[in-house]
Amino acid sequence: MARITLRQLLDHAAEYGYGVPAFNINNMEQGLAILEAADAADAPVIIQASRGARSYANDIVLKHLIDALAEMYPHIPICMHQDHGNNEATCATAIQYGFTSVMMDGSLKADAKTPADYDYNVRVTRNVVDMAHWVGASVEGELGVLGSLETGMGEKEDGHGFEGKLGHDQLLTDPDQAVEFVKATEVDALAIAMGTSHGAYKFTRKPDGDVLAMNVIEEIHRRLPNTHLVMHGSSSVPQELQDIINQYGGQMPQTWGVPVEEIQRGIKHGVRKINIDTDNRMAMTGAIRKVFAENPGEFDPRKYLKPAMEAMRAVCKQRFEEFGTAGYASKIRPLPMSAMAKRYASGELAPKIGLTRQAAE
Ligand code: G3H
Ligand code: 13P
Ligand code: ZN
């Protein structure tokens, strides 16, 4: 079984200069599509489940689904990650069900709607880090609140996001505070806010530096060269997927996502985990709409889920290639969580602040 922790995987990615897409999962079809793509690209992969996914699929089903995927593809390192954990209990139960990594999103309170203050964020994140590291699991934290710099709004379509409007002070991670946060929490990876938001409606035009503040990533990477950075809301919302959906009866208003070249720029500046859900949702929806439009009499789910899986597999494979993940699965030897727990206990994985990457190695 090739389960890997986020920390081990991202340390490898940093060493070789690549990024790893983190694809959201809710069902068997998505799991098979992700692993077929990883297998074709020889890529390690991060699969992540939101709280919504865990309650949709059921924790037990999800656990056995991931076991099945790991058994089918023993040569592919799979990191199983909790996306946007809202409190300590969500993170603890994820680990109980076989997740090797959790996100404690303390940028929002436990209701996943109310922006939290810095001290609250540090406290809950530190609690999760202590608990997770005892058993060798990894922790992603978030500093700054995800939302649009154009509108000041979060994206509520996924049930996780603030309500109302926020100013740029909350929507952009403060680089100095990022250093303090990593020092205080000892997170393995840090999600930062720089203008991306969840869902399809990120930007009303092709984004430039005013609405997608890649300079914040560069600034944080300069101060924290050894911290793995995470980009949320990083679907590219490809025009061709919007067109397929609309061609076959969908009604998606024109929108723009995060261009792949901006993500590639991020990867050069410490971004190691790139969260993608919307692109895969759109790929599946477009394929299903096409089957229904062309054959309204169809009622065998396999007839539309198979094309949906193929469309999703193509998106995943393309991202593995674009982020440089392809070719690395066979080069990693995953360590068990017990070995990672020993490494944390020895202090060897504590954050190295103020050192260049070379000096830290
Ligand atoms: O966090 C964002 C992901 O797109 C998951 O969305 O909460 O609807 O499963 P979800
Ligand atoms: P997208 O909605 O851009 O795919 O982002 C997903 C995400 O960030 C999950 O945490
Ligand atoms: Zn997210």
What separation in Å is there between the alpha carbon of 293 and the centre of ligand 3?
Answer: 32
Q: What is the pTM of this model?
A: 0.97
Cβ-in-10-Å burial (0-12, 13-18, 19+) of 352 comes to middle
**pLDDT > 70: percent of the chain:** 98
| Ligand 2 nearest-atom number relative to CA 279 | 4
pLDDT of 333 strictly over 80 = yes
Helix (H, G, I), strand (E, B) or coil at 185: helix
What CA–CA distance (Å, rounded) separates 35 from 75?
Answer: 11
Q: Are 185 and 225 in contact (CB under 8 A)?
A: no
Q: Are 80 and 45 in contact (CB under 8 A)?
A: no
Mean pLDDT for the stretch of residues 176-196: 98
Q: What is the DSSP string of 193-258?
A: -BS--SSS-SBSSS--TTTS-HHHHHHHHHH-TTSEEEE-S-----HHHHHHHHHTT--PPP-B--
Q: Atom 7 in ligand 1: which residue has the minimum CA distance?
A: 158
Q: What is the DSSP string of 53-67?
A: HHHHH-HHHHHHHHH
Q: Of the candidates 50, 47, 322, which has an alpha carbon nearest to the alpha carbon of residue 199?
A: 50
Q: Is 152 left (phi over 0), alpha (psi -120 to 50) or beta?
A: left
Query: Around 229, how many Cα atoms within 13 Å sit in the side-chain half-sphere?
Result: 31
Residue in this structure with the two tokens 């260049």, named with its chain if needed: 356
What separation in Å is there between the alpha carbon of 197 and the centre of ligand 3?
Answer: 8
Would you state the pLDDT for residue 356?
78
pLDDT of 164 strictly over 90 = no
pLDDT of 157 strictly over 70 = no
Mean pLDDT for the stretch of residues 2-27: 98
Go through 8-47 and write b for each residue having 16 or more CB atoms within 10 A of its CB, e for each that does not: bbbbbbbeeebbbbbbbbbbebbbbbbbbbbbebbbbbbb
Residue in this structure with the two tokens 């309650």, named with its chain if needed: 55
With the CA atoms of 110, 352, 224 and 185 taken in that order, what torsion angle do they form, in degrees rounded to the nearest 10?
10
Would you state the pLDDT for residue 158?
53
One-letter identity of residue 162: F
Ligand nearest to the CA of 283: 2
Is 83 among the catalytic positions? yes
Query: Which residues surround ligand 1 with Cβ inside 6 Å?
Result: 24, 50, 52-53, 83-84, 158-160, 198, 277
Would you state the pLDDT for residue 163?
79
- The values of phi and psi at residue 16, to 5°, are -105, 0
Would you state the pLDDT for residue 359?
76
pLDDT of 1 strictly over 80 = no
Q: Are 19 and 267 in contact (CB under 8 A)?
A: yes
Q: Which of 11, 83, 188, 210 is catalytic?
A: 83
**Greater pLDDT, 360 or 70:** 70
Predicted confidence (pLDDT) per residue in 240-256, tens digit: 999 999 999 999 999 99
CB of 232 sitting under 6 A from ligand 2: yes
